Amino acid sequence: MPGSAELQIHAGGPGRAHAWCVGAFRGQPPAVGELPPALGEAATALARRKGWTGEDGQAAETALADGTVVRLRGLGATEAFELRTLRSWLAPVAAAAARGGAKRLGIAMPDHAALRGEAAEAALVAAGLLGYAFDRFRSRPARPALAGIEVAPPPGQRATYRAALPASRALVASIAFARDLANSPPNEATPAWMAARARELAKKYGMKATVLGPAELRKRGMGGILAVGEGSANGPRMVRLEVGRGPLTVALVGKGVTFDTGGISIKPAAGMEDMKYDKSGACTVLGIARAAAELKLPLRLRIYVPLAENMASGTSYRPGDIVRCYNGKTVDITNTDAEGRMLLADALAWAAEEKPDVMLDYATLTGACVVALGTSAAGLFSPDDTLAEQILAAARTAGERLWRLPLWPEYIEDMKGIHGDLRNSGGRWGGASTAAAFLAQFTGDVRRWAHFDIAGAAYIGSERGSGDKGATGFAIASSLRVLRQLATEGARRGRPARTR
């Protein structure tokens, strides 16, 4: 199974890894304090070889008498190192170890401030995800699989890393789960298929599940979801899950466009195959819910997943249509490729109606956000400064790049309709902020709301980026950290959970 490599902390003895990866910064010896003597001596000997400097990407290796391979890799300047550097360092080493026949990989974490304390969880997650591959549709695996990942913490950090292990394991499994959903192809991953996977998740973790089909959506007046989905033979769905108990209620909302042609406002052909990733927001919230349930967080979580396939056909919604959403607001359709916000409008309005304490939504929403921030970061929008800072701090600790973008009142002026209350596309300028301003019209009285535009970071597409292609599971690690903080906040408040 993808992501199934066993993640464990090195116990200080000989270890079971067939290959070990050790790093060394420029001009410094490798950190081998937590390694068995034979491994530490081998790494130190490699660093003493003529020509070794520790420059970024420099590599050397040797084998012990028992066949264990020790790979030393340069990390460059100490001041340039960060969590993201760790990921880029580990990936080629893991691939080389697997190609060499190793089933278990050992990683000696470098002695660096970026990997100590709270960063232990992110370091372990980066290591654990080395075992992930989406090979379900291949006649043979694309690369050999690692069965186990053994981590030797930085010197003095063994207790910290051990304490971080349960959450790290839950995150690795949940990110792999979300990646699997997002990577699944659109001829399989229809709205009904995604709803079925959500039901399976609910059954496994004792969640309450509700799935609305087209008839129920029509009865409830969820016109946004219906409009986007009516051009496809695969009808739309709306999934609601509920799990957990606690003083605080948190709503998670995720955009689930299982494939996006753009509809009548059709996209260019180049890169359209990547539009299976337009369901990444839905996959993200299901991954977050899985991790929170695994860790039994004392929160009441409500998960809302609107699902539709945006196709071009004789029954598609059109530019010029006016659509009424769940909260009664009407929307002039000016661009059928601005479909994600139509799904989120209904889902956010339903979530807000149930009065959560905090509401977070996730969507591959705008190309404008990718233009602004590139493919290494996501945009964050919130009217609540305290919540925004809390999320940004969590992202820094998790090693995920988030950047807060403005949600000024002027942006809603661009989204006002001609004959309806709103329009679904505000034109060329400030597209990420105008889209967020549109969503804000459906959040009701929930002030503690944040919107994650993950369009650039949710996947590595076929025509952009480097390294492994596919879904990343971005924002799950940051969000779980935020949920744990909210659970602590709820415990301090100690008030009873809301009921309906």
- Which residues are catalytic, by number? 267, 341
Tell me the two tokens of residue 267: 């996209």
Distances in Å between the alpha carbon of 465 and those of 126, 374, 462?
18, 10, 8
Contact 401, 377 (CB under 8 A): yes
Evaluated on CA atoms 143, 149, 154, 155, the torsion sign reads negative
Which amino acid would we find at residue 285?
A: V
Polymer length of the chain: 500
